[in-house]
Amino acid sequence: MKKLLILQLFLFVSTTLSASVILPQKTTIENYLKPIEITEEKSGLWGVDCIYVINLDERPEKWNRMKELCLSQGLNANRVSAINGWKIPKAALKELSGPYPIRMLGGHFGCLLSHISVLKDAWDRKFSLIWILEDDVEFVEDVRVIPNILERLTSLDPNWDLFFTDPDSKNNQGQPIRSLAVDFRPDQDHYPPAYYQKRISINNDITMIRQRFGSYSMFITRKGLEKMLHYFTHVYLWSPIDVDIHYVPDIRTYSAKRDLVSVWLNTNNRSDTYHKVP
């Protein structure tokens, strides 16, 4: 009961403050999104409409690995042909950045645009719950535990938006990388920086969070799709998606307390976000 009261207060404070970007008009970001083909109409995971796996055409070995991992868990995943941000012309990067300097690596632009392409596809298909995976994850537990956790989350917060399947991202040695700083746009209203460090334990499986690194395994509800898609089509690009996603107004974000699906700890796995793809 005490945790429930804390959660209710936490949500009340979150929704009574304001954090937004002053940019009323839509940007041209949708011109740079990529259409997605859905070949697997049933996800294989209860309650989940679709599983998307973001994978560059230049990395077929990563998709083959992910396809085998998903099949081993009884999952039907749809490959998303990722946008190679390293190949986006500089003029396009300037257009996407608007009044801001170009601050991100090419891989960050590609990752962000690939994720927004998924959000738009899922929204247009009227999906209620999706799972976005990047091609560098590993399944730590049987994924069939996840629907039960999400069901409990829904009973506590019917309006949740985003659920990460591990507490934090990690380096190649498996050490957690905590997000302890903020990266606001110059014209962006925001909460005090300490707000984003706050985490609330909900139960044995779930933590409410306001910031973290890593966008490699996320469940998103329809409400979350709407908030995120509206935000990213009305702001110019500034930070990587795993940073900027936490500045979506009124986003309600949670994470697992333990690793269910996490980043692939393989020292030979070079991130295509940070390393230029041929």
Which CATH class for the 2-263 domain?
alpha beta
pLDDT value, residue 6: 52
Nearest Cα to Cα of residue 236 among 41, 25, 90, 13: 25
Nearest Cα to Cα of residue 21 among 230, 243, 242: 230
Is residue 218 within 8 A of residue 163, CB to CB? The reply is: yes
The domains of the chain are located at 2-263
pLDDT value, residue 25: 84
**What DSSP designation does 201 have?**
E
How confident is the prediction along the chain (278 residues), in pLDDT tens digits per residue? 555 545 554 554 455 444 544 556 899 999 999 999 999 989 999 999 999 999 999 999 999 999 999 999 999 999 999 999 999 999 999 999 999 999 999 999 999 999 999 999 999 999 999 999 999 999 999 999 999 999 999 999 999 999 999 999 999 889 999 999 999 999 998 999 999 999 999 999 999 999 999 999 999 999 999 999 999 999 999 999 999 999 999 999 999 999 999 999 886 666 778 777 77
pLDDT value, residue 18: 46
